[in-house]
Structure 1
Amino acid sequence: MHEARDSTRRGYSADFSFSTADVSLLHSDMAADGQAIISSDHALLDLCVTPRPVNMRGSFAGTWDGHRFEPLGDIIFVPPGYPLHLRWDGNGEQYSIRCELRGKLARHRFRNRMDWTEARLLASLDISSHSVRLLLRRLAEEARSPRRDTRLLVGAIATQLTVELSRYLEFVTDNMAHGGLSAWRLRLIDERLEKETVPPTLVELAGLCSISVRQLTRGFLKSRGCTLGQYVHQSRIDAVKRLLATQESIKSVADAVGFSSTSSLAQAFRRSTGLTPRSYQQRIWRSSGSGHS
């Protein structure tokens, strides 16, 4: 995997190379008050399955002003030829899935055809696509436990991932002026999700935005490239991650986020992250040196 500099790769656990994609399962030791640069000749995706370091943010070197650093989501995309500068505070461990898309289709879509506008670069720092998330997890599972026809399957997944990601990024700019929600409505939705962990209903969000449920769902899809249900679900999982870092009881976390039982929480959490709530919690405690067992 070609990268210019990236101190986050220290301590990575495994690399798997295929003709259409390189997949890395990373366990990184993040230095305090760190900086790094991620750069690649290929389209690069990174899915962080544990919380990113405190105040982690990124800037596209040579494209943005040197003082501009934007916050990162749990999935980031680094376009070919666009080095990403990272900064963060504090230290700790980070587990992530990293994938370079190396096929001809990826080169054509992301290097030759894609117009890297300001809006697309900004969207690359927080890829909120449910499809992209599931495909990255599927790639990691196949790489971790290769079986008969793994290379064939990885090629198919990489192709689908390329198509889903390019559609998502093309959608960002093309739909901002065609029926998407206004910035203030998107902000109201985000504020509601941050304020209360129990998920809102569509009726509640529509009332908050002073529009119909149909206008809400259609406009949100055009603005964010994913359904409102997928977005709310991921926000809920993010809330679970935050609570697991501070509370020992899985049941109290399930109650706080509105799951009917610990088993339903575990099922949703594992489907999204590949980890059980308890194993995720133990990783967080180990990395923080909290001494929990």
Structure 2
Amino acid sequence: MAAIETERNRRAAKIGIAQERYAGWLDVRRTIVGAFDSYRTECLVDFNGGWAELRRFAWSAPIESIWHTGERCYFLSLSLDGAPETNRSNVELALAMPDGGRRVLLVPPEQTISSICRTGGQRRSLRCLIDADFVESICSFKPTREERAQIGAADFSGGTIEWLLLRMYREICHAEVGMKIAVESIAREIAVEIARAVERRRSNTRRRMGGLPSWRMRLILDRIHAEGPLPRVSDLAILSGMTVRHLGRAFQTEMGKTLGKFIAAAMVERASRMLEAGMPVGAVAATLGYASSSSFAHAFHRETGILPSSVRDGERHRGAPGTGAASALRQ
């Protein structure tokens, strides 16, 4: 009995340390810390204007918590174990936020959230907290409280923000040179996407110009980032049940870049990882579905300005700043 109590105290102390870090960002007003069977921060990355945390925890009894985002905080969470079975609501605005298949949670500043996990389970998630001043400085003017709440109620699963959070997760897991810089860069891209979401709602751009529903965008992104040969635009049009022209227009409205450029960026990212791991250029070309090594090399050079053999031999790290996968993905 004493051992169980000691373990609970140890877990509560860990959570207390985490809550101290959240000061000014998140205010956890009520939670049942003793219900956690385990709680572990796997990695924590500070960057200018925020921080990211990869964490894992498990519980065997229902957990109810109430927490409030501070004035300075845009809070994002990506569930890495599929959609969580959690019911959430905005307490102050009586706004329901059921997850219902949602993997991405975005909570704007000054929102009070009630979260209930009715059954036991375990969770691995990526949390990212971004300074609100930076996010809202990108907007044409500061969002109202109602506009913030509307953004928080939106489902960002399957879109650009989820893709960026997955990129951040991969950066943290690989922990390569420049990881902190890369994580900060991705966080800034997320801030831009949040600001754009605010502006789209203001101008009703999505309805006027047309975009892609989150379920359809999820299909497309999952196919682009799946293992095996890269898809053609026509393949994605068939998958999404749209014409090539309609898909191209809708995708560019949603993502701010053409579908072809997005596929090329995914190619660079996947190819770079394989090349840096020592895989032969021919094998990389075959894996990605290119007919020959030369056609792959031409496509890679067109996007990055360097040859894939240079990446495999390590020359990319001695080249000019801004070359390689990270640069291509930002274009």
Shorter-chain TM-score: what band? Answer: 0.5 to 0.7
The reply on whether 1:178 has 2:232 as its aligned counterpart is no
- Does 2:91 align with 1:61? yes
Cα distance change, pair 109–63 in 1 and its aligned pair in 2 (3 A): farther
2:40 to 12, 17, 30: 12
How far has the Cα of 1:94 moved from its partner?
A: 0.5
Deviation at 1:102?
A: 2.7
5+ residue gaps, structure 1: 194-199, 230-262, 265-293
Higher RCO (CA 8 Å, separation ≥ 6 residues): 1
Code of the aligned partner of 1:163: V
Question: Is the counterpart of residue 35 in structure 1 residue 64 in structure 2?
Answer: yes
Tell me what 1:46 maps to: 77
Alpha-carbon distance change, 187 to 94 in structure 1, aligned in 2, over 3 angstroms: closer
8 Å Cα contact 2:80-2:124 kept in structure 1: yes
Match of 1:202 among 202, 216, 237: 237
* Correspondence for 1:83: 112
- What are the ranges of 5 or more consecutive residues in structure 2 without an aligned counterpart? 1-21, 221-234, 260-286, 289-331
Aligned-CA RMSD value: 4.3
Please say if 1:122 is aligned against 2:150.
no
Residue 36 of structure 1, CA deviation: 2.3
Aligned to 2:281: none
SS in 2 for 1:70: coil
Post-superposition CA distance 1:168-226 (Å, at most 9, x none): 34334522431437xxx969969x99xxxxxx96357547xxxx55346545775x769
Give the deviation of 1:88 after TM superposition. Answer: 3.2
Alignment TM-score, normalising by the size of structure 1 = 0.55
- Taking the TM superposition and a 5 Å limit, the aligned residue runs for 1:223-242 are none
Task: Identify the range of structure 1 (157-166 vs 114-123) with the bigger mean alpha-carbon deviation.
Answer: 114-123
Larger Rg: 2
Q: Which residue of 1 aligns with 2:186?
A: 157
- SS in structure 1 at match of 2:208: coil
- Structure 1's 48 and 220: CA in aligned 2 closer, same or farther, altered over 3 A? same
- Could you tell me the percent identity over the aligned residues? 16
- 2:237 maps to a residue whose letter is L
Contact (CA 8 Å) 2:84, 2:103: kept in 1 or not? Answer: no
Deviation of 1:134 after TM superposition, in Å, equals: 3.7
Q: 1:8 to 1:204 in 2, by over 3 A?
A: farther
Q: CA deviation at 1:151?
A: 4.2
Q: Which amino acid aligns with 2:26?
A: E
Q: What residue in structure 2 maps to residue 167 of structure 1?
A: 196
**C-alpha distance after superposition, 1:17-42 (max 9, x if no partner):** 33322111110224544322343221
The one-letter code of the counterpart of 1:60 is N
Distance 1:213 1:27 in 2: 41
Cα gap change, 1:30 to 1:169, in 2 (>3 Å): farther
Deviation at 1:100, TM superposition (A): 0.5
Q: 1:213-228 maps to which residues of 2 (within 5 A)? A: 214-215=245-246, 218-219=249-250
Match in the other structure for 1:238: none
What is the CA-CA distance between 1:113 and the residue it aligns to?
1.7
- Distance in 2 (CA, whole Å) between partners of 1:127 and 1:187 is 7
Q: Structure 1 residues 25 and 126, CA, compared in 2 at 3 Å: closer, same or farther?
A: same
Please give the alpha-carbon distance, in whole angstroms, between the structure 2 residues aligned to 1:19 and 1:91: 36
